[in-house]
Structure 1
Amino acid sequence: MAEITQFKRAIIMTKAIISIDQELCTGCGRCKEVCPVGAISGRLNRAHQIDTDACIFCGQCVQICSGYDSDLMSYATGRGKRLQNRGMLATVVEPLFAAHYRGDIFPLLAALADDEVSTFVQCAPAVRVALGEEFGMPYGSLTPGKLAAALHALGFTKVYDTNFAADLTIMEEGAELIARIGGQGKLPMFTSCCPGWVKFVEDQYPDLLEHLSSCKSPQQMAGTLFKTYGAQEAGIAPEKIFSLAVMPCTCKKFECERPEMAASGYRDVDLVITTRELAQLLKHVGIDFLALADAEFDNPLGCYSGAGNIFGTTGGVMEAALRSACEVLTGKPLPSVELDYVRGGEGVRFATVQHEGVELRVAIAAGLADIAPLLEQVRAGEADFQFMEVMCCPMGCVSGGGQPKTLLPSQVLEAHAGRRAGLYSHDKALPVRKSHENPEIKKLYEKFLGEPLGHQAHELLHTDHTLQRRQ
């Protein structure tokens, strides 16, 4: 099983994550304008290219691309071959755009068909407010029950949730922030949930790597738990588990392939597919998404709080962290968990949180267009904040490169607003809204991890960005 998985992984990794089809690119330049790191080049009206070393795999070029395979044109590469080259199902009927990402459905189908493999799946928060769009539902339709039901119908052994690991991230990241405020590490601390942001710092600001939280992302934390705690709870040998993540983010495909993401002795996550890929798969196998009765995510790794759920939008990680950190620091709950002052849209914003004599100064950045001045302040030792959340995509994960594609600017705004509203609505309706109050998180520490930042947690849930850069 391990050898088969590694063989499949070797095949996957030979293909670029983000590409521009030279036959379909019209050279309009929209992808070049939206690229946050200047990785795309090309002359007007000529096919553009991606510098894959500079690319952070955010997929915003995929979202904005308007050049597609028109029925009115003839191409050297037929549609069937193009689908095959991209790793896409032959049943996909949507237009094929020039800027695209690598499809990973076929290794998943092989795992689902393998009787010797137990398939564990996790779903990011932004997926449940976007998947319905692929089936005609309004923007932002909240579908966690249908999502869980669809994954059960596909035959997964365990249907878990990245939201659980988001709650776990808050426990570890919050403890790390408190330790740094106490003098154990560099301030300000940067969030490390967004793999595109992490790669951006590695590529362009390597001298600031020590400011990144050592926490793995929720995706990787969940994958680690699948093959340790989850394997124990299910009575399944970890080498028999195939770990899939369904993500709104194309860079998550890159993150899961990073060599250091295997602290348990097994790959944290074996494969990532996007929201769009999941929709294509459901249509391929004939699952009527709209007709599905709601189902539940499996326990113990499917139980989540409202705080874990709002990770899917800009400001969500910060709000979730503050809900717990303020209470842990003071021993008293916040008057309200609705921290509207850290919510917002694209760009950079700041906030000061004062609670029971404790003051926290924070920064939130959505998109990388305005991040350079902040990083220069940090580099110069002039930053007046202690904690900074950064997401590469303009509205956070709800606007990720693997989300349903919209072309008209008005539709893009409507889609992003609807998805954000769906996440906050779900948060408000959940019985537990703080990560440290999630009962399954408490059990996880009691039965397996010990305590936040403890030895077991450090070994499995944290990484050393500085070390990986040196390698």
Structure 2
Amino acid sequence: MALFSEQLGFTYVVGTAVGRKVSLVYEAQSQDTASPRLSSICPGWVLYAEKTHPEAIAHMSTVKSAQQITGTILKRVVSKEKAIDSTNVYHLTVMPCFDKKLEAARADNAADVDGVITPKELIMMLDEMNISVKLSTGAPQYDKYSPPQFPQWSWTSDIGSVSGGYAVNYLRAKQAELESEPNYERENFSIESIEGKNPDVYELRLIYNGDKVASAAVVNGFRNIQNLVRKLKGPKKVNPLAARRRARLKKDEPTQPTADPTQCDYVEIMACPAGCINGGGQVQAPEGTSSKEWIDETTQLYGHIPKFDAVSHASDVKQYFSDFCHDYGVNADQVVNTKFTPVEKEEPALGTKW
């Protein structure tokens, strides 16, 4: 925070968790999409779907990402506090993925985020400017660097995956919804994890008294996304002999359940293997450190960030967002939702690590 404010000259520095909490809360609400509902916060995945698999758009959630929702909130808050037009507020984000630049440039997002840099680019820029970063050992001074009355939980993390925890929080919100009904008791709920064919695919099942009541999946990496979209299209015509051969082989396979995202209610999708912690714009592993070791190390560090439970505090998040929309005269639907349209194929996304 001090780096951006005191050395780079930014007026305010905030985290994107304000937008993520709003995104998580709205993502858990019902939407008019085909099943399974597919998350749309990863711009690499969105661009791929719009260009290559427009049939997937019917499945895609319309809820915006944390970057865009935070941008709308921050620009309105700062413009009012400084008594200037929001177009005179320059909003820069630091994101783990180069494709966030493309997300910010979308027609319905252009007013929310003016610039995007990645951690990799930030380090290069600081090196060129001969600026050294010193880690502070004191308590974070959120109020010093954020606009007046901006929520301190803008710097918090979330329960679940290193990509925002959308899948697990979808199920936790579903559990909270069921707990409000008279026939469900909290102590009888559990969430089970079902492994997929590789570590980048897994399914989470919300269980009540031994029965599955809801399910969500996590799908990371381009190859796994391709498999998901292919299955959503439905089976192709197959050779009867080949089908019988596969059936015989299947009998010999273990009966342990395997994750099947196509049968879930919701799917969290990230184009990068291992999710956003391994985004194409992240700082690369030091020499002598393997990619897996580096991901494990950064994941461990990420886990130390204090968490603010958007599901347990859903009423607080909703109240904050409702007050914001009322005080700043903005339409909640326009802040939260977007739309997707099939587009002609162009060059590949800037930095997605397929």
TM-score per shorter chain, which class? 0.7 to 0.9
The AA in structure 1 aligned to 2:193 is Y
2:294 aligns to what?
Answer: 415
Q: 1:406 to 1:424 in 2, by over 3 A?
A: closer
Once residues 216 and 367 of structure 1 are traced to their aligned partners in structure 2, the CA distance between those partners, rounded to angstroms, is 21
Is residue 2:103 matched to residue 1:252? no
The AA in structure 2 aligned to 1:215 is V
Residue pair 1:164, 1:304 contacting (<8 A) in 2 also: yes
1:151 aligns to what?
Answer: 4
Specify which of 40, 60, 64 is matched with residue 212 of structure 1. 60
Q: Which has the higher contact order (CA 8 A, sep 6+)?
A: 2
Once residues 325 and 197 of structure 1 are traced to their aligned partners in structure 2, the CA distance between those partners, rounded to angstroms, is 25
Residue pair 1:307, 1:316 contacting (<8 A) in 2 also: no
CA drift of 1:376 comes to 2.7
CA drift of 1:151 comes to 2.0
Specify which of 264, 285, 292 is matched with residue 406 of structure 1. 285
Secondary structure class of the residue paired with 2:267 = strand
CA drift of 1:253 comes to 1.2
| TM-score relative to the length of structure 2 | 0.74
Q: 1:342 to 1:465 in 2, by over 3 A?
A: farther
The AA in structure 2 aligned to 1:272 is V
CA drift of 1:355 comes to 4.5
Q: 1:409 to 1:168 in 2, by over 3 A?
A: farther
Once residues 436 and 232 of structure 1 are traced to their aligned partners in structure 2, the CA distance between those partners, rounded to angstroms, is 31
Encode CA deviations 1:53-90: one digit per residue, 9 max, x unaligned.
Answer: xxxxxxxxxxxxxxxxxxxxxxxxxxxxxxxxxxxxxx
Once residues 336 and 235 of structure 1 are traced to their aligned partners in structure 2, the CA distance between those partners, rounded to angstroms, is 53
Specify which of 243, 251, 266 is matched with residue 387 of structure 1. 266
Is residue 2:351 matched to residue 1:351? no
Encode CA deviations 1:204-253: one digit per residue, 9 max, x unaligned.
Answer: 21011011100111111111222334533554421210011101111111
Secondary structure class of the residue paired with 2:173 = helix
2:43 aligns to what?
Answer: 195
Is residue 2:321 matched to residue 1:445? yes
Residue pair 1:324, 1:434 contacting (<8 A) in 2 also: no
Q: Which runs of 5+ in 1 are unaligned?
A: 1-147
2:141 aligns to what?
Answer: 295
Once residues 305 and 339 of structure 1 are traced to their aligned partners in structure 2, the CA distance between those partners, rounded to angstroms, is 27
Residue pair 2:160, 2:167 contacting (<8 A) in 1 also: no
Q: 1:282 to 1:322 in 2, by over 3 A?
A: farther
Once residues 419 and 352 of structure 1 are traced to their aligned partners in structure 2, the CA distance between those partners, rounded to angstroms, is 27
2:337 aligns to what?
Answer: 462
The AA in structure 1 aligned to 2:118 is T
Aligned length in residues: 305
Q: Which runs of 5+ in 2 are unaligned?
A: 236-259, 345-354
Once residues 327 and 191 of structure 1 are traced to their aligned partners in structure 2, the CA distance between those partners, rounded to angstroms, is 20
Once residues 65 and 120 of structure 2 are traced to their aligned partners in structure 1, the CA distance between those partners, rounded to angstroms, is 21
Encode CA deviations 1:412-467: one digit per residue, 9 max, x unaligned.
Answer: 111101111222232xx44x3235517863443331337xxxx922112211113x
Encode CA deviations 1:18-76: one digit per residue, 9 max, x unaligned.
Answer: xxxxxxxxxxxxxxxxxxxxxxxxxxxxxxxxxxxxxxxxxxxxxxxxxxxxxxxxxxx
Once residues 273 and 125 of structure 2 are traced to their aligned partners in structure 1, the CA distance between those partners, rounded to angstroms, is 27
RMSD of Structure 2 on Structure 1 (CA): 3.5
Secondary structure class of the residue paired with 1:272 = strand
CA drift of 1:354 comes to 2.1
CA drift of 1:156 comes to 1.3
1:27 aligns to what?
Answer: none
Residue pair 1:191, 1:213 contacting (<8 A) in 2 also: yes
Secondary structure class of the residue paired with 1:395 = coil
Specify which of 168, 191, 207 is matched with residue 319 of structure 1. 168
Residue pair 1:171, 1:436 contacting (<8 A) in 2 also: no
Q: 1:343 to 1:437 in 2, by over 3 A?
A: farther
CA drift of 1:279 comes to 2.3
| TM-score relative to the length of structure 1 | 0.57
Specify which of 20, 23, 27 is matched with residue 173 of structure 1. 27
Once residues 229 and 193 of structure 1 are traced to their aligned partners in structure 2, the CA distance between those partners, rounded to angstroms, is 23
Secondary structure class of the residue paired with 2:215 = strand
1:341 aligns to what?
Answer: 193
CA drift of 1:203 comes to 1.7
Once residues 249 and 237 of structure 1 are traced to their aligned partners in structure 2, the CA distance between those partners, rounded to angstroms, is 29
2:216 aligns to what?
Answer: 362
Secondary structure class of the residue paired with 1:363 = strand
Q: 1:338 to 1:226 in 2, by over 3 A?
A: farther
